[in-house]
Amino acid sequence: MSKTILVTGGTGYIGSHTCVELIQAGYEVVIVDNLYNSSKAVLKRIETITGVLPKFYQVDILDREGLEKVFEENHLDAVIHFAGYKAVGESVKIPLTYYQNNIAGSLNLYETMKKHHVYHLVFSSSATVYGDPASVPIRENFPLSTTNPYGTTKLYNEQILKDLAHSDENFSIVLLRYFNPIGAHKSGLIGEVPNGIPNNLLPYIAQVAIGKREYLSVFGNDYDTVDGTGVRDYIHVVDLAKGHLKALEYADKRKGIDAVNLGTGHGYSVLQVKDAFAKASGKEIAYKIVERRPGDIAECYADTSKAKEVLGWQAEYDIETMCQDSWRFQSQNPDGIND
């Protein structure tokens, strides 16, 4: 019998791609999302890609009764928990809102899981929990720290889940620390829809390419990197999604809690990404070098050996494919995902 997976935040960027991979692998999917940062139209897009319309609850994870109903009405085998707020800069301005949503909401979910004896969990963590790493590539056993409230909500969730796993040996939890997800499904039907002016590099470049923004501001070219601009480990969102299926299998095989990096292991600079995107889109990307962005680090890329070893997973798509797929989504959906 196929397994049923609850996907919180399942209409969002990474969640929707993961739902597609889950359905295509034969899982039943139940989505919980309050549609704060996504649209119901994503459900039909998932159906167009997979032939299956996922079961959907418009529920806020802060709503304990709403969550109860989902757990009562479905026999759930595992949870993948994506729901949360994710804007670093915004989290500095409204930290309590971030703690409320990302911590209190998650606590509701974990309590409901325990009550209903649903013990397998995959949690969306982030490379941000490594703070400013002393060296690269970053391994899972590096010291953890954060520089903003968003990052702190990820670190606290990790700690809460460690305590939970230690208190109850039924639990089997995988913390996935994502590096920089970009790209989109090859159909061009689902992808990242930034809210307002994009904070992240790829959606910003895509909007310059399509003519919505005049130029890219490159935040500093005096870092100690290949060309002075910031280096990150960009990973295709479909590779990332597939990593979640491997994490579910890993959770089936063992008990306790473990953290795993999901990245490619390769770093690209801002200017290298800009050039790759220009090539993929055939558009010139105007840019200006400006001041460093406060809080940014020079270089961040993953040591991927643990993911290979424990999950049997590694990223497959290269930066050219990531840019081509981002561009396809952006040009097919200039106004986002609507009915």
Q: Which residues are catalytic?
A: 150
CB 309 → ligand UFG: shortest distance, Å?
22
**Residue 288 and residue 274: Cα distance in Å, rounded?**
12
**Residue 241 and residue 29: Cα distance in Å, rounded?**
14
Question: 63 or 275, CB closer to ligand NAD?
Answer: 63
Residue 33 binds which of ligand UFG, ligand NAD, none (CB < 5-8 A, kind-dependent): ligand NAD
Question: 38 or 326, CB closer to ligand NAD?
Answer: 38
**Residue 275 and residue 270: Cα distance in Å, rounded?**
9
136 to 195, contacts with ligand UFG by CB under 6 A?
Answer: 151, 179-180
**Residue 244 and residue 170: Cα distance in Å, rounded?**
20
**Residue 26 and residue 4: Cα distance in Å, rounded?**
10
Choose the binding region for ligand NAD from 23-31, 173-181, 242-250, 251-259 (rule: CB under 6 A): 173-181
Residue 219 binds which of ligand NAD, ligand UFG, none (CB < 5-8 A, kind-dependent): ligand UFG
49 in Cβ contact with 19 (< 8 Å)? no
Residue 148 binds which of ligand UFG, ligand NAD, none (CB < 5-8 A, kind-dependent): none
- Residue 86 engages ligand NAD in binding (rule: CB under 6 A): yes
- Residue 206 engages ligand UFG in binding (rule: CB under 6 A): no
- Residue 201 engages ligand NAD in binding (rule: CB under 6 A): no
131 to 150, contacts with ligand NAD by CB under 6 A?
Answer: none
**Residue 44 and residue 156: Cα distance in Å, rounded?**
35
Tokens in use for 252?
């089936």
> Does residue 249 sit in helix, strand or coil?
helix
82 in Cβ contact with 144 (< 8 Å)? no
**Residue 216 and residue 306: Cα distance in Å, rounded?**
35
User: Identity (one letter) of the amino acid at 286?
Assistant: A
Residue 12 binds which of ligand NAD, ligand UFG, none (CB < 5-8 A, kind-dependent): ligand NAD
CB 11 → ligand NAD: shortest distance, Å?
5
Binding residues (CB under 6 A) for ligand UFG: these are 86, 88, 126-128, 151, 179-180, 199-201, 204, 216-219, 230, 232, 270, 293, 296
